[in-house]
Amino acid sequence: MSEEINRFDLPQSEIPRSWYNIQADLPRPLPPVLHPGTKQPVGPADLAPLFPMALIMQEVSQERYIEIPEEVREIYKLWRPTPLLRARRLEKALGTPAHIYYKYEGTSPSGSHKLNTATPQAYYNKQEGVQGLTTETGAGQWGTALSQACNFFGLECKVWMVKISYQQKPHRRTIIQLFGAEVTASPSPLTNAGRTILSKDPNSTGSLGIAISEAVEAAATSGGKYKYALGSVLNHVLMHQTVIGQEALKQLEIAGEYPDVVIGCAGGGSNFAGISLPFVHKNLTEGKKTRIIAVEPAACPSLTRGKYVYDFGDSIGMAPMVKMYTLGHTFIPAPLHAGGLRYHGMASIVCELYDQGLIEAQAIPQLETFGAAAQFLRSEGIVPAPEPAHAIAVAIKEALAAKEAGEKRVILFNLCGHGHFDMSAYEQYLNDQLVDYEYPEKAIAEAMEAVPQV
Ligand SMILES: *Cc1c(COP(=O)(O)O)cnc(C)c1O
């Protein structure tokens, strides 16, 4: 009897040498990003106050592969390649003939996939002589990753943290501070954007969109000392994350399998894109037929219930306008625990793939995701973050559908982060205190009235 293998590792020499840029393969080019004031397409000069030129060029590049700088690959060696595991115990518990694989990005020092892009972003800013970076953080994952990356490259870091997370996740805040970054609860009195929100609602618990407005303003008004870094949504961020899917392709090859389904949770779209774009590439260029599924919360259903229109990237209309599936930039999310999935819009690349029918999307209610997380951790022993619990829920559904159909189905999902800082959420789950939020149709209609006319 041959020995069963559960874990598929790659040597460090197999860390990808380039990022995959799907813009080279899109059947239709991405819609242009528009200036919030003039509504004209933005050019590199418009973005220069916020981002270093190397990242601006990556944002619009049509090259299929972009080389990863050696200094970045050196830092990737702290945790890459990440493991690919087969969830055999979960398969047995479900009684499914499906093979379930997961890529585990929670093994990075910051505990999620975010360091894959924080590292190159800090690197390129350092190269161009920037003194420090400003950013926002929701659940705290991005703030943790960027503060680590800034620390590695000797950059200052200022983080606006969504107030509800600042209150609910004091330990994430402490890690960010340990790395030497300055953390401010958003909305804050430090910026015009924050003061505007606070004057209307002094008790605002904040949103990712508001925190983005504050961080963008702080960089834009710093006289060039600070630039801004975004942890998701932008093309270059999604591209940096493709190291995940490139490794998974090789690891599945070692396992002798190819996925029928690839699943990722989607907040801004970066970990979903990271695991799936290399497989979309195979679908587009080699005639593969893998189903690709983005999973979002029923309380923040941008793809499944939003409209595909131009909207602001932030909450107050300072950031560029992007054509995306959006719930409206004035959207204030329910206080659900998957903090990283509460953004009103979605990455342009993910939206185009969805609009062109190249990927699918599903929305899952909160309670179901925690149930799936509990089932997963009892089988596999890893406590997932509430965000990837959405991907787990759909992986379980697919495995049960395969059982129903009596077919072997190869399922791959991205376990993009661990949930060690989400114990208050799990505690509420154990005490039956979690509730489902269905986003009301009326709120979508109202928010749509505030979407800019283009
Ligand atoms: C940030 C984050 C997300 C959401 O962001 P995406 O860009 O959609 O990946 C999901 N899961 C974890 C663990 C995160 O840190």
Ramachandran class of 256: left when φ > 0, alpha when ψ lies in -120 to 50, beta otherwise: left
pLDDT tens column, 234-274: 999 999 999 999 999 999 999 999 999 999 999 999 999 99
Pocket-testing residue among 175, 232, 342, 343, ligand 1, by greatest number of atoms within 8 A of Cβ: 232
* CA 73 to ligand 1 centroid distance, Å: 22
Which of 269, 323, 325 has the alpha carbon at shortest distance from 294? Answer: 269
Residue owning the nearest CA to atom 1 of ligand 1: 340
Ligand 1 in reach of 273 Cβ (< 6 A):
no
Asked whether 264 lines ligand 1 (CB < 6 A), one says no
Mean pLDDT, to the nearest integer, of 336-341? 80
Residue type for position 5: I
CA angle 88, 93, 98 (to 5 degrees): 55
Q: Is the CB of residue 137 below 6 angstroms from any atom belonging to ligand 1? A: no
Is 110 close to ligand 1, i.e. is its CB under 6 Å away? no
Q: Indicate if the pLDDT at residue 208 is higher than 90.
A: no
Biggest distance spanned by C-alpha atoms of the chain: 70
Q: Is the CB of 265 under 6 A from ligand 1?
A: yes
Average pLDDT value for the chain: 95
Q: How many angstroms does the Cα of residue 267 sit away from the middle of ligand 1?
A: 6
Which residue has better confidence, 206 or 191? 191
Q: What is the DSSP string of 3-71?
A: PP--EE---GGGS-SEEE-GGGT-SSPPPPPB-TTT-SBP-HHHHTTTS-HHHHHHHH---SEEEPPHH
pLDDT at 356: 96
Average pLDDT over residues 431-452: 88
What pLDDT does 172 receive?
A: 92
Does the structure show a pLDDT above 90 at 201?
yes
Provide the 10 A C-beta neighbour count for residue 405: 11
Q: Does 136 have pLDDT greater than 70?
A: yes
Q: How far away, in angstroms, is 339 Cα from ligand 1 center?
A: 9
Lowest mean pLDDT among 130-134, 170-174, 280-284, 438-442: 438-442
pLDDT band at 2 (very low <50, low <70, confident <90, very high): low
How confident is the model over 158-183, as a mean pLDDT? 93
Higher pLDDT, 90 or 332: 90
From the CA of 241, give the closest atom in ligand 1. 9
Pocket of ligand 1, candidates 136, 212, 270: which has the most ligand atoms within 8 Å of its Cβ, to mutate? 270
CA of residue 401 to ligand 1 center, whole Å: 26
More confident residue, 311 or 320: 311
Residue 169, ligand 1, Cβ within 6 A: no
pTM: 0.96
pLDDT higher than threshold 60 for residue 1? no
Q: Is the CB of 116 under 6 A from ligand 1?
A: no
Q: What is the mean pLDDT of residues 423-444?
A: 91
Average pLDDT, integer, range 415-438 = 93
Tens-digit pLDDT profile for residues 33-91: 999 889 999 999 999 999 999 999 999 999 999 999 999 999 999 999 999 999 999 99
Confidence of residue 139 (pLDDT cuts 50, 70, 90): confident
Is the CATH number of domain 69-111+236-448 3.40.50.720?
no
271 lines ligand 1 (CB under 6 A): yes
127-131, 211-215, 303-307: least confident range: 211-215
Angstrom distance (rounded) from CA 15 to CA 319? 34
